[in-house]
Structure formats: C-alpha cells, structure tokens
Amino acid sequence: MHVTHDPAAGAAPQIAFDDFLAVDVRVGTIVAAEPFPEARKPAFKLTIDFGPTIGTRRSSAQITERYALGDLVGLQVAAVVNFPPRQIGPMMSEVLTLGFPDENGHVVLVTPSRPVPDGGRLF
C-alpha cells in the first residue's frame, strides 16, 4: 500500500491497524554523529544502537538547524527499522530517523520522555 500525503492538507486517510503494525518503529541510542558535507541538504550521519536483536544501524538526518554534533551522542531516538536501505550521497542509510517540523520547518527528533531499553518497539 502506497499512500502519499500532504501534511498541510490535514489528516491522512484511514488505514487498517495491520498497516500500522507493518511499520517497525524502534528506539535506539545515537552512539556516533558525524558531519555529512556530501549530502545535498545539510545533514549529519548517525550511528544508532537498537540493542542486541537489531544491532547498530546508520542514518542520514537533516537535523543541523536544531542540533549540534556534540549533543547527539547518548540521545535516544525513534526510527523506522524495516524500510529498505537507501543511498544518500556516498552513504547507505539503513533506518529512517523520525522527527517533526518546528515552526520554521526544522526537524525536531522524536525521543522518549524517559529512558527506555534500546530496541523497544513503538505501540
């Protein structure tokens, strides 16, 4: 099922609960953050630890407006871990790190309000 959605248009069409379950959103801890000067839009390369079952995965995140590299290591974030890897410039992004736009359209990462075990699945 492929649904395109314009966030400015309001809520997306209803989906079945099984469609939601097909998206595997997990929590992980950023263990490394690096500059990504080769990216088309300003971004960082993230290495995120999702615990022993899933392991460590890489992600490109356009979060340079709201975050400094030094503030990212140790931060827990939510990411979709079951999309196919995607080539972003010279790196392969293995997960989609999730965020919401602020009032200026800059990404604010989705993080748990309290520490939780890495690898936990969103429900």
What digits encode the pLDDT tens for the residues 4-39? Answer: 556 667 888 999 999 999 999 999 999 999 999 999
The structural domains of the chain, with segments of one domain joined by +, span 24-109
pLDDT at 52: 97
pTM of the shown model:
0.89
- pLDDT at residue 2 greater than cutoff 50: no
Q: How confident is the model over 56-111, as pLDDT tens digits?
A: 999 999 999 999 999 999 999 999 999 999 999 899 999 999 999 999 999 999 99
pLDDT at 24: 97
Give the burial class of 63: count Cβ atoms within 10 A of its Cβ; 0-12 exposed, 13-18 middle, 19 or more buried.
buried
Q: Is the pLDDT of residue 121 over 70?
A: yes
Q: Which fold, 24-109?
A: OB fold (Dihydrolipoamide Acetyltransferase, E2P) (2.40.50)
Chain mean pLDDT for the chain: 93
